[in-house]
């Protein structure tokens, strides 16, 4: 893949009027991506704001002395006070007050939305601890290994900037009470982009738009794989779409009929070589989805396969799945169905005053893959078993994963509590909530349906996009898909690399 040499040109994605925002876990970036306008925003971006990058060369020392999170709320700088008195507990209390104060409606509008945003405004709202920890000088990060040479815990709580100077696209900070062993002239240089990143992260998490059938139909595009794999720009755009929506479609994939010299695994292996190595499993690195006699998996039949996610009987189910269509029946059924489980989870939790206690977030659902036959070889026997709640939340009560796979659900188990009455009640509450969730995902308006044709492929987030297959008539022709899994770490690593390339790093 060649390095991108020009900025990416991408249309700003705005949330549809029906799209509610759901936070993605910090897997891809951990912060709102620069250059991409958050949904429902005014359409402006950091890169186009006059006044942020220009004009200033030196920022006065008063800002350095007063730079703190809680200043706007408390009226005084907690760092200066702590440095003078050494009262760590008081500092912590002010720190908490400062964070609580950010939620106060009396705080001025977000500088992101203000055309007169300045470096001072951002630095006042970014904790000096965060700023110091960003230092990439050769005293803080080894130039060769890129590994950190100090510990975040080494940074004194009473640290504060003593001087701040703007130098072109960077800000230079000197410190009072720096990490032990660093001289008084140690300088931390931070790019304006990084300050913007830190500011955005402190204001709101990265947001995604959930989708239903109409939203996805409007936004869907097909990526020509033969072009996408050779273009850094197009690959970046495709992976961003995969990260945003959890579902992308590819065309112009290898076809067995047209390229008889290639193997059936060529297509999925090619994708794996580009976006991340394929993950091995009990099914192998790649596997076939086709109708066979005496199938050990309902996917290997012609029957209807309901909405589900794969390998939930494992501790770490795969994050992404690839399906490459090699053969498909002509007007004989076999359509693939996809549902955004985040939209369904969001609908379930909207009415809950405390989502973290919702039955679907707390009651463990058991999944298993149980094929044990003493008459066969040991390596052909499997008994996987694990449990997950249907909806997983992060510390901010945002949906990060959904676990729903009825075909592989183990028999319902009692919730282990000393009080049997409470255990029974919680099980019944989960059962009612599960019925509601099932009704939501089975609604036609939630389902995007598509018949994969030979030479097409789909990549989807296995922890977000539910998938199903309609029954098909084997007399109308064979249906053959080649499948594989990829761990999310590999995909998100490639996405971060392409993002840095696009920003000229």
253 within some domain:
no
Helix (H) or strand (E) holding 105: none
CATH at 294 = 3.60.130.10
300 in the same domain as 178: no
The whole-number pLDDT of residue 259 equals: 64
| E-assigned strand segments in 99-258 | 160-167, 170-176, 187-191, 207-209, 222-224, 247-251
196 in the same domain as 54: yes
162 in the same domain as 295: no
285 vs 107, higher pLDDT: 285
Q: How many domains does the chain have?
A: 2
294 in the same domain as 200: no
Q: Are 265 and 35 in contact (CB under 8 A)?
A: no
199 in the same domain as 283: no
442 in the same domain as 339: yes
The whole-number pLDDT of residue 287 equals: 92
Distance (Å, whole) CA 97 – CA 105: 14
415 within some domain:
yes
256 vs 326, higher pLDDT: 326
Per-residue pLDDT averaged across 6-32, rounded? 38
284 within some domain:
yes
Least confident range from 34-38, 73-77, 350-354, 409-413: namely 73-77
| Tokens describing residue 282 | 């009990």
Q: Give the pLDDT band (50/70/90) at residue 161.
A: very high
Distance (Å, whole) CA 482 – CA 266: 9
The whole-number pLDDT of residue 434 equals: 96
| E-assigned strand segments in 354-499 | 365-371, 382-388, 391-393, 399-402, 447-450, 457-461, 465-469, 480-486
Those residues with Cβ within 8 angstroms of residue 85's Cβ, 6 or more apart along the chain or in another chain: none
141 in the same domain as 55: yes
Distance (Å, whole) CA 386 – CA 380: 20
148 within some domain:
yes
Range of the domain at 157: 49-204
Distance (Å, whole) CA 242 – CA 239: 5
197 in the same domain as 283: no
How does pLDDT run across 188-243, given as a tens digit for each residue? 999 988 888 888 776 666 677 899 999 999 999 999 998 999 889 999 999 999 99
241 within some domain:
no
Those residues with Cβ within 8 angstroms of residue 331's Cβ, 6 or more apart along the chain or in another chain: 476
Q: Is the pLDDT of residue 65 over 50?
A: no
Least confident range from 27-41, 320-334, 368-382: namely 27-41
| Tokens describing residue 348 | 């379930």
Q: Is the pLDDT of residue 125 over 60?
A: yes
**Measuring CA to CA, which residue among 438, 408, 412 is closest to residue 423?**
412
Cα separation values, 48 from 53, 390, 459, Å? 10, 42, 34
293 in the same domain as 200: no
The whole-number pLDDT of residue 425 equals: 87
Distance (Å, whole) CA 98 – CA 39: 27
348 Rama sector, left if φ>0, alpha if ψ -120 to 50, beta otherwise: alpha
**Measuring CA to CA, which residue among 289, 322, 346, 338 is closest to residue 466?**
338
| Start-to-end Cα distance in the chain | 16
How does pLDDT run across 83-115, given as a tens digit for each residue? 333 434 443 344 333 333 333 333 344 433 442
Q: Are 1 and 270 in contact (CB under 8 A)?
A: no
316 in the same domain as 193: no
Mean pLDDT of the chain: 78
Percentage above 70 pLDDT, the chain: 70
480 in the same domain as 359: yes
Q: Give the pLDDT band (50/70/90) at residue 162.
A: very high
Distance (Å, whole) CA 496 – CA 500: 6
274 within some domain:
no
Q: Are 404 and 444 in contact (CB under 8 A)?
A: no
Q: Which three-class secondary structure state does DSSP give residue 307? A: strand
213 within some domain:
no
**Residue 101 CB-density burial (10 A; 0-12 exposed, 13-18 middle, 19+ buried):** middle
Percentage above 90 pLDDT, the chain: 50
Q: Is the pLDDT of residue 64 over 70?
A: no
Q: Give the pLDDT band (50/70/90) at residue 124.
A: confident
Helix (H) or strand (E) holding 372: none
Q: Are 275 and 495 in contact (CB under 8 A)?
A: no
222 within some domain:
no
Q: Is the pLDDT of residue 400 over 60?
A: yes
The whole-number pLDDT of residue 318 equals: 98
């Amino acid at each position: 893949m060649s390095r991108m040499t020009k900025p990416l040109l991408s249309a700003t994605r705005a949330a549809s009027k029906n799209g509610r925002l759901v936070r993605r876990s910090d897997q891809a970036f951990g912060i709102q991506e620069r250059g991409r306008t958050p949904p429902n925003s005014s359409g402006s971006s950091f890169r186009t704001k006059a006044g942020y990058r220009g004009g200033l060369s030196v920022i006065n020392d008063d800002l350095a002395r007063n730079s703190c999170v809680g200043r706007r709320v408390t009226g005084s700088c907690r760092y200066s006070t702590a440095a003078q008195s050494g009262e760590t507990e008081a500092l912590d209390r002010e720190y908490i007050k400062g964070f609580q104060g950010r939620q106060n409606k009396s705080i001025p509008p977000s500088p992101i939305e203000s055309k007169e945003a300045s470096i001072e405004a951002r630095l006042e709202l970014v904790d000096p601890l965060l700023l110091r920890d960003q230092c990439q000088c050769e005293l803080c990060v080894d130039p060769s290994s890129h590994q950190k040479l100090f510990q975040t815990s080494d940074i004194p709580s009473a640290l504060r900037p003593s001087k701040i100077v703007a130098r072109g696209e960077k800000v230079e900070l000197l410190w009072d009470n720096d990490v032990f062993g660093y001289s008084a002239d140690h300088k931390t240089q931070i790019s304006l982009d990084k300050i913007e990143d830190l500011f955005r992260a402190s204001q709101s998490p990265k947001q995604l738009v959930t989708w239903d059938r109409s939203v996805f139909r409007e936004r869907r595009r097909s990526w020509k794989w033969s072009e996408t794999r050779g273009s850094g720009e197009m690959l970046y755009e495709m992976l961003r779409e995969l990260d945003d929506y959890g579902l992308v479609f590819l065309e112009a994939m290898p076809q067995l009929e047209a390229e008889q010299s290639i193997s059936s695994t060529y297509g999925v292996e090619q994708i794996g070589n580009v976006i991340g190595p394929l993950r091995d499993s009990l099914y192998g690195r790649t596997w076939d989805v086709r109708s066979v006699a005496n199938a050990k998996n309902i996917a290997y039949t012609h029957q209807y396969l309901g909405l589900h996610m794969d390998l939930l009987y494992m501790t770490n189910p795969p994050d992404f799945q690839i399906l490459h269509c090699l053969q498909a029946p002509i007007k004989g059924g076999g359509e693939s169905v996809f549902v955004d489980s985040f939209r369904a989870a969001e609908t379930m939790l909207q009415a809950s005053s405390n989502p973290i206690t919702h039955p679907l977030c707390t009651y463990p659902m058991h999944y298993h893959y149980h094929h044990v036959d003493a008459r066969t070889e040991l390596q052909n026997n499997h008994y996987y078993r694990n449990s997950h709640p249907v909806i997983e939340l992060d510390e901010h009560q945002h949906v990060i994963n959904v676990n729903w796979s009825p075909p592989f659900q183990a028999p319902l188990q009692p919730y282990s509590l000393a009080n049997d009455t409470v255990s029974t009640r919680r099980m019944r509450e989960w059962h009612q909530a599960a019925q509601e969730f099932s009704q939501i995902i089975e609604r036609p308006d939630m389902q995007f349906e598509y018949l994969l044709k030979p030479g097409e492929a789909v990549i989807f987030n296995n922890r977000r996009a539910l998938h199903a297959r309609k029954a098909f008539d084997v007399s109308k022709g064979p249906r053959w898909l080649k499948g594989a899994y990829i761990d999310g770490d590999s995909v998100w690593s490639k996405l971060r690399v392409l993002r840095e390339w696009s920003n000229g790093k």
